[in-house]
Each structure stands twice: as C-alpha cells, then as structure tokens.
Structure 1
Amino acid sequence: MNHDLRIDHHSEIPKYRQVVDLLVSDIEAGIFKVGQRIPSINETSGELLISRDTVEKAYVYLRKKGILVSVRGKGYYVGQVNIHKKIKVALVLNKLSNYKRSIYYSLSETLGSKASVDVFIYNYSIGHFDEIVSNQMIHYDYFVILPYFKDDDATGINIIRKIPKKKVLLIDRNLELLKDYPVVYQEYEKDIQTALETGISLIRNYKKINLVFPLNQYYSRNIARGFQIFCQVNQLPFSIIDQLQESDVNKDEAFVLISDDDLYRFIKICRIKNWKPGKDVGLVAYNDNPVKELLEDGITTISTNHDAIGWFAAQMILTGDFKRIKSPFEFIQRNSL
C-alpha cells in the first residue's frame, strides 16, 4: 500500500471510505494488478492503525463493487482495474453567499454524473484554510479555490502551493503570485468601470453618484478604485460611503451598493421617505440574483456571470484544458435606474 497515504482521523470522511480510496488509488497506480492478492484485513489494519472491522467493511464494499474478489481461506484479490470512479472535487470558499451558491450549482450541474462536488468554507481564516487543505489533500482529484484571506495573501498562497499544482483551479481572484495557475477571474477595477460606462446615459440623469462600500467587509478595494476612476473620467460628482446612514440618502442622487445588507437598508430608507428607486433616487446593486430581479419592480445590477464561473471551471476539469479565463461582467438594466 502507498505509504505516503494515511488515514485522517479528523476527517469527516468515514475511515472505511478512506481505506476504499487508498486501495482504489493503489489499484489505479498499478501497485496491485488483476489477480494479485492484496494485504490481508489484519495486515492493513496494523499498517493503518485502525480497527479490523473498519478494514473489513472497506473490503466488503469493494467486493460488492466487483473491484475485489474474495477466496475462502486465501484472502482478497483484485478483480478489475478498469475502475470508473467519479472525479472528486473540493470547492473551497471564503464564505457562503447567493453568489457562491450559484457557482456551486453551475459547477455541479455541468460536471453532472462524472464528478461529485463537496463544499468547504474557511470563513477568511488562514488556519481553517490550512486545516482543510492538509486534511483533504489526498481525498480529492481537484481543488477549486476562491482565495480570499483578509490581509494575508502570502500565507494563503503558500498553503495553496502545498497542493499538487495539477489539482488546483482558482476562481474569482486573479493573484499575481499565482499567475502560473489556471483561474476563472474577475477584474474588479476594470469590470465596474466597463459596466457603469454601459449605463452612463442613465447615470447622468442624477446630480451625484455614490458608492456604498463597507470597509468592515472583505470586498476587493479595486472595486472602489475602479468606481473612482469611472467618475473622474466622466467628470461626475461622486462620493464613497463606508456606513450607510439615512442622512446619506438624498433625492436625485444615484447609489451603487456593494453589500446586500446595505441594499436592504437603502430600500427601507426609501420607503420611510416614500421615495421610489428609479424615480426619486437611482439604485444599482452589485452581484445579481433572482431576488433583485423582483425587488422594487426590478433592481438594476452590475454583476459577474456567476453561472459562467462554475461552467468554465467544470469544463476545464472535464476536458483537462486548464487555462486563465476572464469571467463575463455585465450591466443589467431594470427599473431602479
């Protein structure tokens, strides 16, 4: 058995399934060939330091799948090596949100029955991210990672580099120090400029445009930089607001809201003032979802195509054609602007 692979006693994957994965890996690698006897239940139990019952459960599972054949009094033998197992994909996200759910559903749907996708959330924690990578590295064929580590990109990058490079596919962020890795990325600074430029004729109907950009959340600062450049190039009066207050919301001004929490607060303020988005104030939300299509007779959004990110990632995995792809970003006009 491959001595580089060991049972992870802290993993959520049952130990018997880990034994199954180890044996399948050895068979696929040619360590055990058709008709060859594999180590006995007692031998594997002693080598991996786990119970005999756990090993027996794994062997019985593989026998039922036809991968192993048992011979009374002699042990277990390899029955087949042409094992069509599913591709195992770990989707590692900084947090869970509607945007991330869309990526998951698109990735999973595009991969279909050829792969299984498990989701891991590290909540911006370097320690938790390191733990996920260390514990799961041997159990997955690919790691699809959204690399967002607060202010500690360098440590996060070093952790990513611990994973065999052929297993890694990045999404969302284009990190300069990982420019040799495949990625489906957003270009935050240019994306917001291009999208708002599409709606410039509508934006000019307002006296001022405001970006509500919460500094206590982990959005890319390049969004704010791109917004500022857009306003300066087009000679638009603008401001960037950290924490949205009722006094910030003025009639005949347009607002670009990055956070959904700020969006819902903005709508509440408008209702208190009896103002309607698209008439009394302009409203543009960041990252589209079905709810925004329904709220306030339709909220105008600027958004990456979340489904496309998942689709591109899945296609790379299915075809083996790994590359660097810019995710589409668009201005979706509705009634709020």
Structure 2
Amino acid sequence: MNRQFGTPSKSDRIVAEIIDQIREGSLAKGQAIPSINAASERYNVARKTVVRAYQKLADQGFIESHHRRGFFVVDRQPNAKLKVLLLLHSFEAHFEILYNEFRKQVEGLCEIEIYFHHYNPKILELIISRNISDYDMYIISSFNHPKVSNIIGRIPAGKVLIISRNDRLGNKYNTIVQDFFEGTYQSLCSAKEQIAKYRNVQLSFPEKGGHPETLKNAFLQFCNDFSVPHKIVNSLENKEIGKGDAFLVIDDSDLVKLLKVCKIRGWEPGRDVGVLSYNETPLKEVIRNGITVISCNFGEMAAEMAAFIKNRISVQKIIPIKLIKRNSF
C-alpha cells in the first residue's frame, strides 16, 4: 500500500520510535532492543509487523541481528549525524533550489555529500560501488535505462529514497517524484488559450539528454487531442525559430539560444514568439519580464525529503507539476 506522510503504518511507527530512542541516547550503542515477542506485546501488533519493522531498521543501519541473542543497536554514536549521499543527474539551477532547501531543513541532522551521474549508467555504477556501505541513506534521482534497477538494487531498499523520477523501479523504494505525463498534459491544457495565438508549437527535446519520454508523450497527446500544429526538434537552430511560433524548451541552453534570437531580431516573447520553459528557477521570474514555466515546486520536494529523513515513514509521493503563467507566453 502506498502511504503518505501523516499516515504511517504500524511497522513505521515502531521504526520511528526506536530511531528516536537511538538518537536521544536512551538506546545506547550495543544495547539490546526488545525481542520480537516482547515488542509484539508492547506495541499490541502481530509478530510479522515487528519483523517488518526490525528489518527496516536493519536495512537502514540502526540495528543488527546476533544469532540466538537478539537485536542490538549498531555500534555508532547515538547523536551522530546521518551520512547522506545525494545523487543527481547534474547540478542545474532547479536542483540547486532543491539542494539548498534540503540542506537547510536537515541542518545539524545530516552530513550530505553530492554526486552526479549525468544519466550515465557507468558513472552511476561507479559511484554506488565505491560508496556501497559508507552512507546511512542514498537519495537518488533515477533515469530511464535498463541497467539502473540492478545498480540501485545493490543498496538495501530501506536505505534508498528515489526522487524526481521513478523509471523502471516499481514500488520497491520510497519515492518522492513527479508525474511528467499528467503534469505536462494538464499544464498545456491550462495554456490552451495562449497556445491558440501561435502558428504552431515546437518542443525542443534533446534525444540524448536523458529527459523523460513521458514528457514528450504528453506533448504529443495534447497536440493530437486539440489539433495543435506541432513539431519536435532535437535542439533549437536559428533557422527553425520563426515569428508567430511557440516553443517549449526543456534545456536552459535552448532557452538562452531562443532569447538571444529574440533580442537580435527585436522580438518580444509573448507577442512575437511564445516562450515556455521547463523547471522553475529564480532567474526565470525576472528575465524578459518573466518566463512562463511548467514545473514542480522543488522547495516542496526538498521539504518532503527532509521529512522522510527525520521521520523515516514510508512514502510514495507525487509532487504536482503546474503551469506558472508569466509574460513570455
């Protein structure tokens, strides 16, 4: 069953209570925790619920099982900071928002080290293999590649939080992600009147950029549903940029190229061409009187990540994607 913050399972409540006791020092390193039978009576739950909770605690590195002796707190300082590996595809401006907000919300609780896989499974595998037992939690922005599931699968599932995208991974892990198809489709529907002003809409979708195919599928579905003239290009070239056209750009490099053309030709975004960008950043609020964006709230995603770290309650959450209307479209 998928659970959101605020609706913890019985096993999650046991996990959260024992983690709190370890962090507060009331359960010291090396100390035994209640047996499965004793915990079953204490929490008034079935034995299998306690087994599930203890397995989660073991996966997360808080306890370990000693044969025929029971379960013991792992030999670590009770108030030691959690070591978190944050693995993103790149350090783009919207991920900088996420990182800064996450770091602020877990200050004093975590030590965060950040890596980048650049949508490359070899780099992903190298980072994980070199750090397989060095961290308490692995927060990973996944991507669509057949090897990703096996690579991430080397880490105990209880130590993994998947963010932003959940390609090919199913419901095995805790997730805080975006629904690119539904979010993009509904955002385009919200901009339907503005889109009607333009001759056609071009989606700049770099095929080798690692971007979610569901985003492109949502664009095609919208254009087909509402008979919108459209085109998909790998990147924007000056000759492809025509007055009266609208553009949905995924990469900020294409956004810069488009705005440069507008400046050279004296065009006004929102009047002469439509400019619609993906992923909100502070700069897009102010350049050229504001760039219209389709984006989730990366600050909200960071807050949910921090809540997971603090509470360790199972989560499979979708951060909504919305249209933010400004003058460029």
TM-score (norm: length of structure 2): 0.74
Q: Which amino acid aligns with 1:118?
A: E
User: Cα RMSD between the aligned structures?
Assistant: 1.9
Structure-1 separation of matches of 2:162 and 2:243? 42
Larger RCO: 1 or 2 (CA < 8 Å, sep 6+)? 2
Q: Alpha carbons of 1:266 and 1:221: their partners in 2 closer, same or farther (altered >3 Å)?
A: same
- 2:88 is aligned, of 69, 81, 93, to 93
SS across alignment from 2:256: helix
Structure-2 separation of matches of 1:154 and 1:241? 25
After TM superposition, give the deviation of residue 169 of structure 1 in Å: 0.5
- 1:191 is aligned, of 166, 183, 186, to 183
How do residues 142-161 of structure 1 correspond to structure 2 at under 5 angstroms?
A: 142-148=137-143, 153-161=145-153
Structure-2 separation of matches of 1:81 and 1:173? 33
After TM superposition, give the deviation of residue 154 of structure 1 in Å: 3.0
- 2:97 is aligned, of 84, 92, 102, to 102
Q: Give the 4+ runs in structure 1 shifted more than 3 A.
A: none
After TM superposition, give the deviation of residue 266 of structure 1 in Å: 0.6
User: Contact 2:82–2:110 at 8 Å: present in 1 too?
Assistant: yes
SS across alignment from 1:28: coil
Structure-1 separation of matches of 2:148 and 2:206? 23
Which residue pairs with 2:286 in the alignment? Answer: 294
Q: Which amino acid aligns with 1:196?
A: L
Q: Alpha carbons of 1:224 and 1:140: their partners in 2 closer, same or farther (altered >3 Å)?
A: same
User: Contact 2:143–2:166 at 8 Å: present in 1 too?
Assistant: no
After TM superposition, give the deviation of residue 330 of structure 1 in Å: 1.1
After TM superposition, give the deviation of residue 256 of structure 1 in Å: 0.8
Q: Which has the larger radius of gyration?
A: 1
User: Contact 1:305–1:327 at 8 Å: present in 2 too?
Assistant: yes
After TM superposition, give the deviation of residue 82 of structure 1 in Å: 6.5
Which residue pairs with 1:253 in the alignment? Answer: 245
1:229 paired with 2:221, answer: yes
Per-residue deviation, residues 137-196 of structure 1 (Å, max 9, x unmatched): 3221110011126xxx33221121111111000001123433221111111122111111
Q: Which amino acid aligns with 1:192?
A: T
Q: Which amino acid aligns with 2:207?
A: L
Structure-2 separation of matches of 1:292 and 1:130? 34
SS across alignment from 2:328: coil
After TM superposition, give the deviation of residue 81 of structure 1 in Å: 7.9
User: Contact 2:176–2:318 at 8 Å: present in 1 too?
Assistant: yes
1:305 paired with 2:306, answer: no
Q: Which amino acid aligns with 2:249?
A: L
Q: Alpha carbons of 1:128 and 1:252: their partners in 2 closer, same or farther (altered >3 Å)?
A: closer
Q: How many residues align?
A: 260
Q: Which amino acid aligns with 1:231?
A: C
SS across alignment from 2:132: helix
Structure-1 separation of matches of 2:230 and 2:147? 36
Q: Alpha carbons of 1:269 and 1:323: their partners in 2 closer, same or farther (altered >3 Å)?
A: same
Q: Alpha carbons of 1:81 and 1:167: their partners in 2 closer, same or farther (altered >3 Å)?
A: closer
Per-residue deviation, residues 120-148 of structure 1 (Å, max 9, x unmatched): 12233323322322222322111001112
Per-residue deviation, residues 79-134 of structure 1 (Å, max 9, x unmatched): x9872111221101122211221221122112121222111122333233223222
SS across alignment from 1:177: coil
User: Contact 1:174–1:187 at 8 Å: present in 2 too?
Assistant: no
Structure-1 separation of matches of 2:146 and 2:170? 10
